[in-house]
């Protein structure tokens, strides 16, 4: 399922924290890691005139090439195949990461997050959030403050009983089967909603054979999911990344956006 993954890097320490978990991806059957470093031309927007873009790109490419050699070597030390995206792309990071994933037939995009200041994160959004919104393949984001030792030992499977949450099921089952994970199925009933018991029962039946428990909460979805994550000492969150449907979601972002922004454990988001 995840034979080839794309690792998007900026060489920062928070981003390279992802390497600490590569051996665990080997357990999922990962065989090859494609590494992409994007020269962020968005940084030049609004810069003083006279910037020679071609010269800027050339300098950044030379700097990145030497770092990529070292990074590829580190990845290969885990017994994985590794290759860089060459030539090093320049442009908008989100679009270039998506393009690299498609061109290399990656099955998963793996990213580290700097965990920027909250206000800046909300106003501008992060590259990881942008990739999650635009990617057709699953994305896993590992925050720099992640403290878990085993990513998949105890999975929160956030389910709102809609179709985009159901699409995540195959990934939850695949990982749980490979790792012998414990699954915590979480459904949050929002204000003025009613629990659709037959739908929940069908989901539970599909998880039979795995170690799982169900937790039902009432309130704001992302807050309750994160609260359960803390209470259950979960090691990662799996959630569907659907298109915003309500007015509130369109204005402030989806539940997946909020989980990405506030979660301290790694987050796996899938649309298909």
pLDDT in tens, 142-156: 988 788 999 999 999
Task: Give the pLDDT band of residue 253 (cuts 50, 70, 90).
Answer: low
Q: How do residues 126-135 score in pLDDT, each as one tens digit? A: 888 899 999 9
- For the chain, give the percent of residues with pLDDT over 70: 89
pLDDT 10s digits, 214-229: 999 999 999 999 999 9
* DSSP bridge pairs for 189: 218
CA distance 10 to 127: 11
Q: Would you say residue 8 has pLDDT above 60? A: yes
Task: Note the pLDDT tens digit of each residue in 159-173.
Answer: 999 888 999 999 999
Other Cβ atoms within 10 Å of 214 Cβ, number: 16
pLDDT tens across 50-105, in order?
A: 678 888 899 999 999 999 999 999 999 999 999 999 999 999 999 999 999 999 99
pLDDT category at 119 given cuts 50, 70, 90 is: very low
Asked whether the predicted pLDDT for residue 252 surpasses 80, the reply is no
> In which element (H, E) is residue 249 found?
helix 247-252
| Mean pLDDT score of the chain | 89
81-84/32-36 β-pairing? parallel
pLDDT exceeds cutoff 50 at 251: no
At residue 257, the 3 state secondary structure works out as: helix
Q: Which residue has the higher pLDDT, 269 or 191?
A: 269
pLDDT for residue 194:
84
The predicted structure's pLDDT at residue 242: 58
* Residue 243: predicted pLDDT: 54
Q: pLDDT at residue 211 above 80?
A: yes
Residue 108 Ramachandran class (φ > 0 left, ψ -120 to 50 alpha, else beta): beta
pLDDT, position 52: 82
Nearest CA among 143, 163, 144 for reference residue 241: 163
Considering the chain, what percentage of its residues have pLDDT values greater than 90?
73
User: Please, which pLDDT band fits residue 247 given cuts at 50, 70 and 90?
Assistant: very low
The dihedrals phi and psi of 236, each to the nearest 5 degrees, come to -165, 160
């Amino acid at each position: 399922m995840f034979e080839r993954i794309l690792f998007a890097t900026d060489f920062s320490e928070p981003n390279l924290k992802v390497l600490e978990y590569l051996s665990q991806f080997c357990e999922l059957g990962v065989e090859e890691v494609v590494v992409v470093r994007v020269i962020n031309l968005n940084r030049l927007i609004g810069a003083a005139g006279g910037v020679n873009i071609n010269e800027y790109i050339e300098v950044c490419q030379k700097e990145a090439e030497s770092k990529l050699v070292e990074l590829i070597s580190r990845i290969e030390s885990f017994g994985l195949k590794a290759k860089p995206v060459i030539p090093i792309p320049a442009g908008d990071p989100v679009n270039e990461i998506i393009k690299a994933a498609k061109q290399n037939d990656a099955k998963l995009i793996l990213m580290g997050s700097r965990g920027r200041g909250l206000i800046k994160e909300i106003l501008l959004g992060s590259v990881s959030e942008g990739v999650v919104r635009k990617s057709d393949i699953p994305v896993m984001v590992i925050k720099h403050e992640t403290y878990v030792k085993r990513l998949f030992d105890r999975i929160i499977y956030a389910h709102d009983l809609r179709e985009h949450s159901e699409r995540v099921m195959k990934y939850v089952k695949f990982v749980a089967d490979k790792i012998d994970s414990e699954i915590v199925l979480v459904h949050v009933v929002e204000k003025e909603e009613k629990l659709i018991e037959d739908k929940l029962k069908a989901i539970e039946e599909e998880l039979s054979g795995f170690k799982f428990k169900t937790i039902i909460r009432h309130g704001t979805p992302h807050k309750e999911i994160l609260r359960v994550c803390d209470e259950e000492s979960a090691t990662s969150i799996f959630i569907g990344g659907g298109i915003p449907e309500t007015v509130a979601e369109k204005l402030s972002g989806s539940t997946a956006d909020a989980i990405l922004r506030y979660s301290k454990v790694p987050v796996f988001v899938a649309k298909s």
